[in-house]
Amino acid sequence: MIHLPPELPPSVDKAVENLTDKPTKVIGKGVSSIFSLVFNPINHLNDKQLLKYAHALDVYKQELDDKISAIPEENLIEPKLQIVAQALEDSKYCIEEPELREMFANLIASASDKTKADIIHPSFSAILKQMSPKDAVAVRTIGNVSYFTDRSLFPVGRVKLRDAEYEDEGFLATDAIVDSPFDILEIPSDSLSNLLALGLISIDYSNKVGAQYAYRPLELFAKDMSKYFPDQEIVIDKGICILTPHGKNFTKSCGIIPTDASPYVRKLPDLF
């Protein structure tokens, strides 16, 4: 049972208490017991924050039920304590972000599925904990496009402004993924940097894609920028970006599935 500060109104007390006082019908006593242990009340939250958190917690619990109940009975296993307990603990302050909450739910469901459990690494929940919602969308986008195009690598580039007189360089665009003659992935460079730091992707500027139009969007951007810097050289570094083996297992474990709805994919059929 959850103990709340005495000054909280009864409606708030009941809303939170109902979430953890009984095992859910699907996730079982094992996961449910850990769930209740992890999600103790956060007593410093005010009434409004606590109600919001209680709602997110309720949604999270329902998502876990739905995802685990979708696993065929012959594949259902008791998940490893190391995986599920750490995932629940790491998700504690992320459940109000729908993208992250869903990926945590997928990770725990994958740990309960014998066809996926072997690829799950204990670090995956810690990786999720360090991601922002836009990082989550970014890695989902890369995973989705990889699935749709059967592509293992993406062209990636950065546009630099070079001042020959002062032997100085500045970036006009950093680590921007381009995809094909038909679309461009407008993934924020800070998300790419974080995915790189987390070991989910690898960026290599010693190799490049040989396709004729692979870097066309960056070339058009550089050409447009040259009008504003007529006395300086604009240089494009061309490279490749791939999901690492760790990144591939992460996307599979966290439920990166095909979808046409990524907000970072913009169709450009008239560009080429």
Task: Decide if 105 is inside a domain.
Answer: yes
Low-confidence winner among 10-14, 83-87, 100-104, 204-208 (lowest mean pLDDT): 10-14
pLDDT for 171: 63
b/e 12-46 (16+ beta carbons within 10 angstroms → b) = bbebbeebbeeebebbeeebbebbbebbebeeebe
> With 80 as the cut, is the pLDDT of residue 68 above it?
yes
Same-domain check for residues 121 and 24: yes
b/e 209-245 (16+ beta carbons within 10 angstroms → b) = beeeebbbbbbebbeeeeeeeeebebeebbbbbbbee
Give the mean model confidence (pLDDT) for residues 149-176.
68
Give the mean model confidence (pLDDT) for residues 83-107.
92
Of residues 28 and 247, more confidence is placed in 247
pLDDT for 116: 92
Which residues span the domain enclosing 218?
134-267
Indicate the pLDDT class of residue 259, thresholds 50, 70 and 90. Answer: very low
Give tens-digit pLDDT for 177-223: 765 544 556 677 888 889 999 999 998 999 888 877 778 878 888 88
Same-domain check for residues 145 and 103: no
> With 60 as the cut, is the pLDDT of residue 110 above it?
yes
pLDDT for 272: 26
Task: Compute the Cα dihedral for 45, 51, 56, 60 and give only its sign.
Answer: positive
From 130, 155, 185, give the residue that closes a domain.
Answer: 130
Distance CA 236, CA 242 (A): 19
From 130, 164, 189, give the residue that closes a domain.
Answer: 130
pLDDT for 18: 44
Same-domain check for residues 195 and 230: yes
Give tens-digit pLDDT for 217-243: 788 888 888 888 887 888 888 888 888
pLDDT for 161: 83
Give the mean model confidence (pLDDT) for residues 127-140.
91
Same-domain check for residues 143 and 108: no
- The closest alpha carbon to 236, from 220, 259, 252, belongs to 220
Q: Are the C-beta atoms of residues 124 and 115 closer than 8 Å to each other?
A: no
**Exposed, middle or buried, 203 (CB in 10 Å: 0-12/13-18/19+)?**
middle
DSSP 76: B
Query: Which range, 44-53, 123-132, 164-173, 180-189, is most confident?
Result: 123-132
Indicate the pLDDT class of residue 15, thresholds 50, 70 and 90. Answer: very low
Indicate the pLDDT class of residue 105, thresholds 50, 70 and 90. Answer: very high
Question: What's the structural domain count of the chain?
Answer: 2
Task: Decide if 71 is inside a domain.
Answer: yes
From 71, 106, 130, give the residue that closes a domain.
Answer: 130
Give tens-digit pLDDT for 17-63: 444 444 454 555 556 656 665 666 555 556 677 778 888 888 999 99
pLDDT for 35: 64
Task: Decide if 244 is inside a domain.
Answer: yes
> With 50 as the cut, is the pLDDT of residue 269 above it?
no
Q: Are the C-beta atoms of residues 235 and 225 closer than 8 Å to each other?
A: no
pLDDT for 160: 84
Sheet containing strand 153-163, strands side by side: 201-204, 233-243, 153-163, 168-180, 183-185, 265-267
Distance CA 46, CA 44 (A): 6
